[in-house]
Amino acid sequence: MFKYLPHTHADIEAMLKRVGLDSLDELFSEIPDSLKGFELDVPSQHSELELINHFKNLGAMNTPLIPFMGAGAYDHYTPTIINHLINRQEFLTAYTPYQPEISQGTLQYIFEYQSMICQLTGMDVSNASMYDGATATAEAMFMATAARRKKRVLVSGTMNPNIIRVIRTYAEPQDIDVVIIREKNGAISESDLKKRLTDDTAALIVQSPNVYGVIENYAGVNEMLKEKKALFIINQDPSTLSHLKTPREYGADIAVGEAQSLGIPLSYGGPYIGYLATTKKYMRKMPGRICGVTKDADGKRAFVLTLQAREQHIRRDKANSNICSNQSLMALFVTIYMATMGKKGLYEAQQLSYNNAHYLYDQLRKLPQFEVVFEDRPFFKEFTLRATVDIDTMNHKLQEQGFLGPLHLGRFSSDKKGLVTFATTEKRTKEEMDTLIRILGEL
Amino acid sequence: MMYYDQLIFEKSQEGRKGYTLPKSEIKEYKLPDELSRAECPRLPEVSEFDVVRHYTNVSFKNFGIEKGFYPLGSCTMKYNPKINQDIAAMEAFTSVHPYQPVETAQGLLKIYHDTQKILSKISGLDTYSLNPYAGAHGELVGLMIIKKYHQSRNDHKRTKIIVPDSAHGTNPASATVAGFESVEVKSNRDGTVNIEDLKKVLGEDIAGIMLTNPNTIGMFEKDILEISRLVHEAGGLLYYDGANLNPILGISRPGDMGFDIMHINLHKTFSTPHGGGGPGSGPVGVTKALKKFLPLPVVRKAGDMYLIEYDSEESIGQISHFYGNMGVVIRAYAYLLTMGKERLKEIAQMSVLNANYIKESLKDTYKLPVEGICKHEFVFDGLKDRSIDVRTLDIAKRLLDYDMHPPTIYFPLLYKESMMIEPPENESKQTIDHFIETMRIIAKEAKDDPDMLKNAPYNTPVRRLDEALAARAPKVKFRDLEEED
């Protein structure tokens, strides 16, 4: 007996008797002996007190830092009610909503989530969420190659390199040709796009704000793509859609992105949540779960997983995607975030982030330690400068003062050496920013 | 209050707020007009209390494992310990940025590293990546590794993956996404792989085989050593779908059986919450020979330091933005330490005992297609009395009225009325006896009043749904409902 194992000796005896066996070992008698009897060399059991102490010690091995870095993970404010609500056992411990009669809770919040993602992006339909923004982007690529029956995909070189890497990994086994479009002054080069956009192109994938933090303007891009019957896939941080022109307004066929920025804690990279939304035209090509409305036997409104004929458990080897789950609890997280912040709060929080980033940029560009790289390029809450000082020394100095300094883009490729990307959110105070500016100015 | 019908949008009142934000200490900057969206997204306008009450009421329409018995086959719906939630929520873990210098994230990296090690010991495989986000993601990664392995040997003719007809639906789908063609092998009557059929398909075009052991009928592949010998001799690799790992914990290891690659569902075997469909975690383990193909980045220990490596020529590449669902890994690690080497075997024993006890107790009433000792789960093929006009679906729906979650139904596809029952180890004999009793009552109801069962459930937030209506004219967002009015 153990706290998670309720069987008493009497229970075990009675149950074995019903099964017609004399010992527990006989339950495993068909397993060849050569496959049994190894020594399990793993840690010994911990009592609850020992466990808590162990994790306290592990926690103490991490150093909390105030982040001035984003790069796909943003330190936004989390309203305190969210964790209380998502940790309700009804949400937390339920399985995928296969039995809709007792899963209306999960199905309803997925419906609300889909509605909110459609509001943010302007698209017609959202799925129930994906693993993360990078894999959602790769799945969007599969949608496009399946819908267009073409195997060439253009990817903007200004996308976050991690997303490009995931796209490449997913593309390789299906022999999809990934072509990188050059950049011009920190944004996608339209002339290079024109050059590489051929008849056999299935889609263009872009990101805005991009890896430099630059907001890209896609006026005219979709018209070019449609001439070649190519799909337009926009990856966008959904929190910036409080302000920015929507993927729909730019004519996107698929909108994807990482929704961690909707209040999800940094958590060392996960769990986060990818979103994927599209137009009515491509709804039936979507991967993953989709929740729709129907009626029950009494005529009451009810929610149910729908369009399942697209999915792996029906189509098996004919499916476009092998996704059989979603990041459901994280979808609930961002749904409650968007409900709590609401129409005005999301805008206000993002405006604060925007103000902070622009204040910091205005101060840092005056310092001799930094040079402007992309003059006149608009940005949102993240921006890039060239450091004239040694970046490792700079970030080490900041770390000593409790700050996580900017991301050195040189970590991704040597041609980006010297470029650093700062990020702010509404959580950064003027005092923190002024301290950061002072430390950097003293380098 | 069980039936609560409002959407958060329907509670919205213009001007209402649920948040507070600090005052801006700096001047307002303005976004250029040509970059601004035409109109604000219509998110709800509600108070904080509105939000709390709304989602509390929404939650009441769900059935979680803390409410009642949840014998969902192949899903391992075990208790999700509360302490693991508390630990994962510690600020020392949640506030760390994924790109913090490794020396400021040693605690998290140690958790990642030690979890890798424990999973290796449990499964008998050399090394793990914890980056895959879910079981299906792990399958995809595993198949990409198989592909890379053959390519690295300049063996380009291996385009097919063998999948038994009893396999989880994700297996063939993952094979397709990884650029393989899947070949089905037939099962024997007991659901185990038909060796003669396997021999027929093995050849120079076979890249590997995907197996679940015990399989989806709950039977252990007792010829597994023969299967692995045959597949290896034909030049293929063996992939282990870890969905059914629970009943062999501490008893037997996939690595010893001859598997080269496997994934583990931390949300099944290692008690992390299913969360209504995720986030899960699907670590992938490989033999020493395949280690170089694991996805990037890789966490490893050098001296006293835990490091992250981003470069490797031979890796399949990156399959996640960062390092997977770290929050899920923390919970699984806490569970592994709680159970320790002393208790892991008992998990297997008690889950297998529970399953066999139910099977033996109900096989006089429900049709048992495969006799013999099962592992953690087994399948009934509907009611034994075939003259009764009641289907598995009706029995499942009736169970809802008795406050129990039904088994997995209509899977595996081997039987017409499949009902796959998995009672995890932390369900007591008393709970299970109550389930057995209820299944008998339902069988009697089926005989006495089949129409009553066909219209079940009666005591749930909603009754049976018109699924065809939802697919015919899909309404997938609030605006679609507004347009309807």
Q: pLDDT tens digits, chain B, 485 residues: what are they?
A: 467 989 999 999 999 999 999 998 899 999 999 999 999 999 999 999 999 999 999 999 999 999 999 999 999 999 999 999 999 999 999 999 999 999 999 999 999 999 999 999 999 999 999 999 999 999 999 999 999 999 999 999 999 999 998 888 888 999 999 999 999 999 888 889 999 999 999 999 999 999 999 998 999 999 999 999 999 999 999 999 999 999 999 999 999 999 999 999 999 999 999 999 999 999 999 999 999 999 999 999 999 999 999 988 899 999 999 999 999 999 999 999 999 999 999 999 999 999 999 999 999 999 999 999 999 999 999 999 999 999 999 999 999 999 999 999 999 988 999 999 999 999 999 999 999 999 999 999 999 999 999 999 999 999 999 989 998 889 999 999 998 76
Statement to judge: residues B206 and B119 lie in one domain: yes
Q: Which of A302, A300, A319 is nearest to A311 (CA)?
A: A319
Residues B205 and B299 in one domain: yes
Nearest CA to CA, how far is B265 from chain A (Å)?
Answer: 12
> Is B2 part of any domain?
no
Tell me how far apart the alpha carbons of residues A164 and A151 are, in angstroms, rounded to a whole number: 16
CATH superfamily of A66-76+342-441: Aspartate Aminotransferase, domain 1 (3.90.1150.10)
Burial of residue A418 (CB within 10 Å: 0-12, 13-18, 19+) is: middle
What's the token pair of residue B415? 């039987």
Question: Cβ contact (<8 Å) for B320 and A312?
Answer: no
Position A315 confidence tier, pLDDT thresholds 50, 70, 90: low
Interface with B, mutate which of A101, A118, A164, A425 (most B CBs under 10 A) = A101
A274-278 vs A125-126, strand pairing mode:
antiparallel
Q: Is B64 part of any domain?
A: no
Alpha helices in A67-154 (DSSP H): 81-86, 89-92, 104-121, 133-148
Query: What's this model's pTM, rounded to 2 decimal places?
Result: 0.97
Report pLDDT for B1.
44
Q: Are residues B168 and B270 in the same domain?
A: yes
B116 & B208 share domain: yes
* A59:B92 CB<8 A: yes
Burial class of residue B11 in the structure, from the number of CB atoms within 10 Å of its CB (0-12 exposed, 13-18 middle, 19+ buried): middle
Q: What residues in B contact A7, CB-CB < 8 Å? A: 350, 353, 428-429
Which pLDDT does position A312 carry in this prediction? 64
Which among B320, B338, B356 is the end of a domain? B338
Q: Does B65 fall in a domain?
A: no
Contacts of B304 (CB under 8 A, 6+ apart): none
One domain for residues B35 and B104:
no
Cβ of A134 and B479 within 8 Å?
no
B167 and B202 share a domain? yes
Q: Which residue of A has its CA nearest to B226?
A: A32
Q: Same domain for B331 and B417?
A: no
Residue B63 Cα distances to A97, A102, A438, B4, angstroms: 10, 6, 54, 15
Q: Dig out the tokens for A129 from the structure.
A: 């969420």
pLDDT of residue A376: 87
**Position A240 pLDDT exceeds 70:** yes
- Nearest by CB to residue A329, choosing from B38, B248, B276, is B276
Q: Show residues of chain A in contact with B455, CB under 8 Å.
A: 297
B417 found inside a domain:
yes
Beta-carbon separation of A7 and B350 below 8 A: yes
Q: Which domain holds residue B215?
A: 83-338
Using CA coordinates, name the residue in chain B closest to A59.
B92
The answer to whether A26 contacts B373, with C-beta atoms less than 8 Å apart, is yes
B38 and B89 share one domain: no
pLDDT tens per residue across span A77-111: 999 999 999 999 999 999 999 999 999 999 999 99
DSSP state of A380: S
Residue A6, both tokens:
């309720």
Residue B77 lies in a domain: no
- Please, is A20 exposed, middle or buried when counting C-beta atoms within 10 Å of its C-beta (0-12, 13-18, 19+)? exposed
The last residue of a domain, from among B338, B366, B395: B338
- Under an 8 A CB cutoff, do A339 and B51 touch? yes
- Domain boundary, last residue among B338, B367, B389: B338
Instruction: Please indicate, yes or no, whether residues B410 and B268 belong to a single structural domain of this protein.
Output: no
Contact B99 A404 (CB under 8 A): yes
| Cα–Cα dist B468/B390, whole Å | 21
CB pairs under 8 A, 24+ apart, for A144-147?
A144/A202, A144/A203, A144/A230, A144/A231, A144/A233, A144/A253, A144/A254, A145/A174, A145/A176, A145/A202, A145/A203, A146/A285, A146/A320, A147/A202, A147/A231, A147/A282, A147/A285
CATH T-level topology, domain A81-336:
Aspartate Aminotransferase; domain 2 (3.40.640)
Residues 6 or more apart in contact with residue A142 via CB below 8 angstroms: A170, A174, A287, A320, A321, B177
Please tell me the predicted confidence (pLDDT) of residue A375: 87
Domain extent listing, chain A: 66-76+342-441, 81-336
- What burial letters (b/e) apply to B50-77, b meaning 16+ CB within 10 Å? bbbebbebbbebbbbbebbbbbbbbbbb
Residue numbers in B near A77 (CB within 8 A)? 21
Residue of A nearest to B139 (CA): A322
Identify all chain A residues contacting B177, using CB atoms and an 8 Å cutoff.
Answer: 142, 173-174, 319-322
A168 CB neighbours in chain B (<8 A) are 317
Alpha helical stretches, state H, B321-411: 326-362, 392-401
| Chain B residues closer than 8 Å to A60 by CB | 92, 107
Are residues B53 and B95 both part of a single domain?
A: no
What phi, psi does A363 have (nearest 5°)?
-75, -45
Write down the H helix ranges in A323-369. 328-364
* Interchain proximity A61–B48, CB inside 8 Å: no
pLDDT at residue A64 above 50? yes
Our count of domains for chain B comes to: 3
Residues B146 and B192 in one domain: yes
CA distances from B338 to A41, A53, B206 (A): 15, 12, 42
β-sheet bridge partners, residue A417: none
Give A298: exposed, middle or buried? Use CB within 10 Å, 0-12, 13-18, 19+: exposed
Domain shared by B311 and B230, yes or no: yes
Euclidean distance between CA atoms B25 and A359, whole angstroms: 10
CA distances (Å), origin A24, targets A17, A30, A413, B71, B298: 11, 13, 58, 21, 40
